[in-house]
Copies of this chain bind each other. A is one copy, B any other.
Amino acid sequence: MTGRQRFLAALDGRPVDRPPLWLMRQAGRYLPEYRAIRGKYSFAEMYKTPDVATEVTLQPVRRFGLDAAILFSDILVVPEAMGLPLDFPEGGPRFSKTVRSLDEVRALKPLEPEHDLEYVRTALAQLRRELGTETALLGFAGAPYTLACYAVEGEATRSFEAIKRLEYQEPEVLHALLDRLTDALIGYLVMQVEAGADAVQLFDSWGGHLSPEAFATFALPRAKRIFDAIREAGGKSIHFVLGSSGFLPLVKEAGADAVAVDWHVTMSDAIAHLGADTVVQGNLDPLALHAPPARIAGEARRIAQAGRAARGHVFNVGHGLLPSTPIEGVEALVTSLRELEA
């Protein structure tokens, strides 16, 4: 099986020789070849220049032979293209304008993905040609609630007080913002599928800050709309809600082809809560890649074994790789998964 076949079969719940493997934030600062390019460009130049984004996307695939490549980009390109000025200072990304009223929501520019984010389409089309039938290609976007967090707070904050106040005091403003973002995301993700992405992952990094009831009210209906549109465009979808181990069935209800599981729950418990008819992704603690190789192999086998109870299983970490990730740790993980090949 090629990596692409393995990845698509797992997402479909068809038989595979072993779980396919890709890693959230697999292109990044832990790779010397990434740091070499990062030395020459700003972060924004990297994702806005299709050739550079393509090269950086391919780096971990070349080095480790992963089953899927994920486009090198940033979730904040969508609100940026809708008119929020984006910067990447030391402490993390930051919008210098915030959106906290109906007027500010209405002032957001509707996204024209083919025009505003043409660089993403170009990079994906190039990647599709490079990867051919060997390796799957993933696009992605931030989920509406996560993008709304950045738009309302301006940056990642400790308690998300500004957006939570909207939620409890002016829900109509939050609903309007989420609808506007959802419209943009649908256009953007459909464009990604049309450009050659086999699947797209929706990252709801802050969705776990919503109570389960609030997730059902604010996040779930938008995620459903997004996954329906992706399916209609012929793409597959993966849904990652960090911090959702207490309400996994709601994540499943959103209807993506696979539910990504973070590392705050065992894979067996996650499958028990989701039901065995679910395709799951995950869920190694990314910091476990600091462990000695034998320990990594043990964790990988344990998670792969647990994943067999699900309809399908895409192996991954339960949160993005950190810049401190040792390359030997990733190598140990790749080797141990290969050893599972039937």
Q: Are B212 and A265 in contact (CB under 8 A)?
A: yes
Partner of A161, one of B165, B291, B322: B322
Write the chain B residue with the least CB distance to A329.
B168
Among the stretches A9-17, A145-153, A241-249, A252-260, the one at the interface with B is A241-249
Q: Are B161 and A324 in contact (CB under 8 A)?
A: yes
Chain B hits for A287, CB < 8 A: 159-161, 164-165, 167-168
CB distance from A215 to the nearest CB of B (A): 9
Q: Are A168 and B290 in contact (CB under 8 A)?
A: yes
Chain B hits for A264, CB < 8 A: 208, 211-212, 243, 245-247
Cβ of A328 within 8 Å of any chain B Cβ, yes or no, is: no
Cβ of A45 within 8 Å of any chain B Cβ, yes or no, is: no
Q: Are A165 and B211 in contact (CB under 8 A)?
A: no
Partner of A245, one of B164, B168, B245, B292: B245
Write the chain B residue with the least CB distance to A163.
B287
Which of A159, A246, A285 has the most C-beta atoms of chain B within 10 angstroms of its own C-beta?
Answer: A246
Cβ of A213 within 8 Å of any chain B Cβ, yes or no, is: yes
CB distance from A167 to the nearest CB of B (A): 8
Q: Are B288 and A168 in contact (CB under 8 A)?
A: yes
Cβ of A263 within 8 Å of any chain B Cβ, yes or no, is: yes
CA distance in complex: A269, B165 (Å) = 25
Q: Are B159 and A322 in contact (CB under 8 A)?
A: yes
Chain B hits for A164, CB < 8 A: 285, 287, 290
Chain B hits for A324, CB < 8 A: 161
CA distance in complex: A123, B149 (Å) = 42
CA distance in complex: A1, B237 (Å) = 55
Contacts A168-B288, A295-B168, A322-B161: A211 and B247 contacting too (C-beta < 8 A)? no
CA distance in complex: A322, B165 (Å) = 12
Write the chain B residue with the least CB distance to A165.
B290
Cβ of A266 within 8 Å of any chain B Cβ, yes or no, is: yes
CA distance in complex: A246, B245 (Å) = 5
Chain B hits for A285, CB < 8 A: 164, 211, 214
CB distance from A307 to the nearest CB of B (A): 15
Q: Are A291 and B247 in contact (CB under 8 A)?
A: no
Write the chain B residue with the least CB distance to A244.
B264
CB contacts under 8 Å to B, within A89-106, are none
- The digit string for A275-310, where 1 denotes a CB below 8 A from any CB of B, is 000000000010110111001000000000000000
Q: Are B295 and A263 in contact (CB under 8 A)?
A: no
CB contacts under 8 Å to B, within A103-139, are none
Q: Are B266 and A212 in contact (CB under 8 A)?
A: yes
CB distance from A288 to the nearest CB of B (A): 6
Which of A159, A211, A292, A322 has the most C-beta atoms of chain B within 10 angstroms of its own C-beta?
Answer: A211
Chain B hits for A214, CB < 8 A: 285
Partner of A291, one of B169, B290, B292: B169
- The contact sample of 18 A-B pairs, CB cut-off 8 A, is A159-B287, A161-B287, A161-B322, A168-B290, A169-B290, A208-B264, A211-B285, A212-B264, A212-B265, A213-B266, A214-B285, A243-B243, A243-B264, A245-B246, A245-B247, A245-B264, A246-B266, A247-B269
